[in-house]
Amino acid sequence: MQRSVLVCVCAAAAVLGGARAGRHDAYSSSAVFGVQLRNTSDLELLHNLELNLDLDMWQYGMPQVRDAMVMVPPHARGKFLSALDKEGVSHYMHVENVTQALETHDEDIARWKSSRAPRLIFQDYMRYADINAEMERIAGRHPNLVTLVNAGKSFEGRDIKYLKISTTNFEDHSKPIYFMEAMIHAREWVTTPVAMYSVYRLVENRRSQDQDLLDDIDWIILPLVNPDGYETASGVRQDRPTRLLTPPASEWTAIELRRSHGVGTPTNPCAITYAGARPFSEPETGYVRDILAEHKDRVQIFMDIHSHGNYVLFAYGDGTLPPNALPIFLVGSAMGAAMDAMKLPQAGFYRVGNSATVLYSTSGSAQDYGQVAGAAMSYTLELPGYGYGFLVPPSYQDHINEETWQGIAVTARLSRQLYRDRYSAANTQR
Ligand SMILES: *[C@@H]1O[C@H](CO)[C@@H](O)[C@H](O)[C@H]1NC(C)=O
Ligand SMILES: *[C@@H]1O[C@H](CO)[C@@H](O)[C@H](O)[C@H]1NC(C)=O
C-alpha cells in the first residue's frame, strides 16, 4: 500500500504547525471542550463520539478525577454538544480558538529559542538532524560505553537511530535491559527530550548516586521512532502543507497477539486513531519489534513514552491482565509516586493502572506488543500536559525531564532486582 494514500489533512496536523501566517487557519473554528465525566457511561459516550465524529482527544478524562479535553471541528460541534446535553453531561469551553492557541505556542517556542543560547538538546524542541548529530557525538566521545545503531530507514528514507549504553557491551546476560522509546506520535514533542535527557544523565552528566544504573543495567534508547511525522510536524522552517502522516504508531498487531481485538480502531486512514493497513505495515514499528526480538529474554522494562495526561499504563488494552500484573502495577506505582513527588501544582497526580481500566479499550498498542513480545514489564507513560494538551510551552521541558528521570531511575532499580530474581531462578534450574 502506498503511504501517500495515508497522507491526510487531519485536524491534528496543525497542532504541530509553524509560525507561518495562515498555517493554522484550518482550525480557526475548532474549539477544545472540557467534559466533566461522572462515571464510565460518560466515558463510553465520549469515546463513541470520538469515533463517530472523528474527534481529536487531547485528554482522555477519568470519571470524578480528571476532565476530558476534546477538540471539535465546527461541523461536528452541534452534534457533539447535543449528544452531551441529552445525557446531562457537563461541558465547558477550554480553548475557544485553536488557531490562536497554536500561534501562541509558536510564539512561546520562538521566544524560548531566542531567550537563552546555546541550549542543550533536551531543553528545546530540536529537529531530527540535531538529534541524530547529538547521538553521533555522544557515541563518538564514549566508545566504550555507547554504541550508535542505525535500525534502518523510515518510510520516507530517514535513518532511525538508537543508542545502546552498557559498561559490558551488552555481553553480560545477568543484567536486565531497559528499553525506552519516544515520539511514536509526531505531535508529542516533549517526549524526545526526555529520552535525550536520560542519555545525558546516564553518560555525560552521571551523578555518583546513579552509577549503579549504568553498572547494573544495559540501556536501549530510541528517542525518535517517527522521524517522518516529526519532521513534517515540526517543519516550522519548511514550506510544507499542513498534514499529518498516519503515525506509524498504533499498529502493533492484532495478528501477533493472536487476539481478537479490533475495539476502537477505525479503518478510515484519515481517522486520527487509524491503526495502519496491517500489523507492522510501517517500517518504524518493525524496528522496535526487531529490538524486542533480539533481546527477548533480557528486556525487563519497555517504556513507551507519550504525551500527555500523567498516566503510567500497562497491558492489555482489552482489559485482561498479564500474569505478572501485580509487580507491573507496583513498579508503575513507584514510578508515579517518584514523579508526583516533584510535580508542579498545575499538573495532575499520576494515575497508574491497566490501560483499559484507567482509560478505555485499545488494540494494537506498543505497550501490548512489548508485553507479548517478551518484555517482562511494558508501560505506556503519558507525560504532563499542564492544561496545554500537546502544546506544552518549552519552558516546562527542564522540569519534565528531571521529574521523569526520577521515575525512570526508580523503575530501573526495581527492575534490576526483579530481573536478578528471574535470572537466578532460571540459572539454578539448569
Ligand atoms: C452514570 O450517571 C448517569 C447520570 O447520573 C446515569 O444515568 C447512569 O446510569 C450512570 N452510569 C453508571 C454506569 O453508573
Ligand atoms: C482565531 O484566531 C485567529 C488568530 O488569532 C484569527 O485570525 C481568527 O479570526 C480567529 N477565529 C475566530 C473564529 O475567532
- Of all ligands present, the nearest one to the C-alpha of 44 is 1
Percent of the chain with pLDDT over 70: 81
Q: Is 40 in the pocket of ligand 1 (CB under 6 A)?
A: yes
Identify the band that residue 237 occupies on the pLDDT scale cut at 50, 70 and 90: very low
Q: Whose CA is nearest to atom 9 of ligand 2?
A: 28
Question: Does the pLDDT value for residue 277 go beyond 60?
Answer: no
Q: Which atom of ligand 1 is nearest to the CA of 40?
A: 13
The DSSP code sequence of 137-161 is HHHHH-TTTEEEEEEEE-TTS-EEE
Active site residues: 382
Q: Whose CA is nearest to atom 12 of ligand 2?
A: 28
Q: For residue 35, what is its C-alpha cell?
A: 467534559
β-pairing, 299-307 vs 377-383, is parallel
Looking at residue 269, what is its pLDDT? 43
Q: Whose CA is nearest to atom 10 of ligand 2?
A: 28
- CA separation, residue 336 to residues 57, 202, 239, 358, 390 (Å): 23, 21, 40, 14, 20
Residue in 97, 103, 107 to alter for ligand 2 test, most ligand atoms within 8 A of Cβ: 97
Looking at residue 114, what is its pLDDT? 86
Question: Does the pLDDT value for residue 287 go beyond 50?
Answer: yes
Give the best-scoring range by mean pLDDT among 228-232, 261-265, 330-334: 330-334
Those residues whose C-beta lies under 8 Å from the C-beta of residue 316, and which sit 6 or more positions away, are 259, 322, 354, 355, 356, 368, 371
Q: Which atom of ligand 1 is nearest to the CA of 39?
A: 1
Looking at residue 181, what is its pLDDT? 96
Task: Report the alpha-carbon distance of residue 259 to residue 251 in Å, rounded.
Answer: 14
Q: For residue 227, what is its C-alpha cell?
A: 522521524
The DSSP code sequence of 338-386 is HHHTT--TTSPPPEEEEHHHHT---SS-HHHHHHHTT-SEEEEEEE--T
What's the average model confidence in pLDDT over 258-285?
A: 48
Question: Does the pLDDT value for residue 165 go beyond 80?
Answer: yes
What domains lie within the chain, and their CATH numbers?
A: 6-106 (3.30.70.340), 119-429 (3.40.630.10)
Spell 86-103 as b/e; 16+ CB within 10 A means b. eeebebeebbebbbebbb
Contact 215, 416 (CB under 8 A): no
Question: Does the pLDDT value for residue 6 go beyond 50?
Answer: no
Identify the band that residue 258 occupies on the pLDDT scale cut at 50, 70 and 90: very low
**Is 4 or 121 the better-scoring residue by pLDDT?**
121
- Tell me the pTM: 0.85
φ, ψ (nearest 5 deg) of residue 253: 120, 85
Spatial CA neighbour of 341 closest among 270, 254, 404 = 404
Question: Does the pLDDT value for residue 1 go beyond 50?
Answer: no
Question: Does the pLDDT value for residue 383 go beyond 60?
Answer: yes
Identify the band that residue 188 occupies on the pLDDT scale cut at 50, 70 and 90: confident
**How many whole angstroms from 101 Cα to the centroid of ligand 2?**
10
- Of all ligands present, the nearest one to the C-alpha of 63 is 1
Quote the radius of gyration of the chain (alpha carbons, Å): 21
Looking at residue 98, what is its pLDDT? 84
- pLDDT tens across 60-112, in order? 888 998 899 999 989 999 999 999 999 999 999 999 988 888 888 888 888 88
Q: Is 395 in the pocket of ligand 1 (CB under 6 A)?
A: no
Identify the band that residue 234 occupies on the pLDDT scale cut at 50, 70 and 90: low
**How many whole angstroms from 347 Cα to the centroid of ligand 2?**
28
Give the binding-site residues of ligand 2, using a 6 Å CB cut-off. Answer: 28-29, 97, 99-100, 103
Looking at residue 412, what is its pLDDT? 97
Half-sphere exposure of 6 (CA within 13 A, CB side): 23
Looking at residue 163, what is its pLDDT? 98
Whether cis (ω within 30° of 0) applies to the bond prior to 316 is yes
Looking at residue 421, what is its pLDDT? 86
Contact 363, 252 (CB under 8 A): no
- pLDDT tens across 388-427, in order? 988 899 999 999 999 999 999 999 999 999 998 888 888 8
Looking at residue 185, what is its pLDDT? 80
The partner residues of 72 in beta bridges, in order of sequence, read: 31
Looking at residue 266, what is its pLDDT? 42
